[in-house]
């Protein structure tokens, strides 16, 4: 029953379980594939494309692609890294990301992947879209300026909290996170204890009155790049 699958990531052979996605097998083996919309425990989404790898020569998102016996995966190639860098840069210019005063700075996954890729300034022009802030709820706020539409709050609220507080509304550059009420977050059944609040990789969905509690230098990504926790704990089983 415990049939294992063997695949190669960047020439290194790793073992995987049937049914695993490439990113899960890589995580278990201590190989970091950059990601934003993927979060363990949530249904794979494949929207941010940051985890794009070449599987048997074909580009696909590692978070949605199941492992197959003998699969050859390319992950850290120069062209893939450049491609990922451009995705990160686009996310920065398409929103309004003011890291200097953001409560999430230092613990933000978007910022952390940018740090990991050594991005000092985007090569694309800033868009400066007009986005709203919904601070109507007594304990929670949504700042759409920082939202990267990863859908992690949507999936967490729906599948783990069982509430379906959030969903996408609109199309293209008008697309945004909507709430399960006519207009305001305050009119939903969102609660401060919702797991959805912890699912946000950026500072778009925040608990109020919890900001700036960790001093600079002690935050999640101040000293070690994102992904180093995977690279240090994984073992080639």
Partner 1 sequence: MPATKPRIATTSLAGCFGCHMSLLDIDERILQLAELVDFDKSPIDDYKQFTQHCAVGLIEGGCCNEENVAVLRDFRTHCDVLVSIGDCATMGGIPALRNMVTIEECMQEAYVSGPSVYNPSGKVPDNPEVPLLLDKVYPAHEVVKIDYHLPGCPPPADTLFAALVALLSDEPIKLPYQLIKYD
CA distance 9 to 78: 15
Nearer to partner 1, 74 or 89 (CB): 89
Contact (Cβ atoms closer than 8 angstroms) between residue 173 and residue 164? no
Stretch of 29-37, 60-68, 101-109, 196-204 lying at the interface with partner 1 (CB under 8 A): 101-109
State CA 138 to chain mean position distance.
Answer: 26
Output phi, psi for 155, to 5 deg: -70, -40
- H-state helical runs in 123-162: 152-159
Question: Is there binding between residue 111 and partner 1 (CB under 8 A)?
Answer: yes
Measured from the CB of residue 128, what is the shortest distance to partner 1 in angstroms?
Answer: 4
Binder of partner 1 out of 25, 37, 63, 114 (CB under 8 A):
114
Alpha-carbon gap, residue 194 to 153, rounded angstroms: 10
Greatest Cα pair distance, the chain, in angstroms, is: 54
* DSSP assignment letter at 175: -
Residues binding partner 1: what is the number (CB under 8 A)? Answer: 29
212 touching partner 1, by CB under 8 A: no
HSE-up of residue 13 (Cα within 13 Å, Cβ side): 5
The SS3 call for residue 4 is coil
Q: Does 106 bind partner 1 (CB under 8 A)?
A: yes
Q: Would you say 5 or 200 has its CB closer to partner 1?
A: 200
User: Considering beta carbons, is residue 17 or 96 the nearer one to partner 1?
Assistant: 96
Q: Does 105 bind partner 1 (CB under 8 A)?
A: yes
Q: Is 121 in the site for partner 1 (CB under 8 A)?
A: yes
Q: Is position 96 an interface residue for partner 1 (rule: CB under 8 A)?
A: yes
Residues that bind partner 1 (CB under 8 A): 92, 96-102, 105-106, 111, 114-115, 118, 120-122, 125-126, 128-131, 145, 216, 222-225
């Amino acid at each position: 029953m415990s049939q294992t699958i063997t695949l190669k990531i960047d020439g290194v052979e790793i073992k995987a379980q049937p049914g695993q996605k490439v990113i899960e097998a890589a995580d278990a083996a201590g190989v970091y594939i950059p990601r934003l919309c993927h979060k363990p425990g949530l249904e794979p989404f494949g929207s941010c494309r940051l985890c794009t790898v070449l599987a048997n020569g074909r580009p696909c998102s590692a978070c949605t692609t199941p492992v197959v016996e003998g699969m050859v995966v390319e992950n850290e190639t120069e062209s893939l890294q450049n491609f990922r860098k451009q995705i990160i840069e686009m996310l920065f210019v398409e929103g309004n990301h003011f890291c200097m005063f953001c409560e999430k700075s230092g613990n933000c996954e978007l910022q952390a992947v940018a740090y990991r890729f050594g991005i000092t300034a985007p090569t694309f022009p800033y868009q400066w879209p007009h986005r709203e802030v919904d601070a109507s709820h007594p304990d929670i706020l949504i700042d759409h300026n920082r939202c990267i539409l990863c859908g992690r709050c949507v999936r967490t609220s729906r599948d783990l909290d069982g509430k379906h507080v959030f969903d996408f509304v609109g199309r293209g550059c008008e697309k945004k996170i909507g709430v399960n009420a006519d207009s305001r977050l305050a009119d939903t059944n969102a609660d401060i204890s919702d797991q959805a609040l912890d699912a946000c990789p950026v500072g778009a969905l925040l608990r109020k009155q919890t900001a700036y509690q960790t001093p600079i230098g002690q935050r999640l990504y101040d000293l070690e790049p994102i992904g180093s926790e995977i690279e240090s704990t994984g073992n080639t089983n």
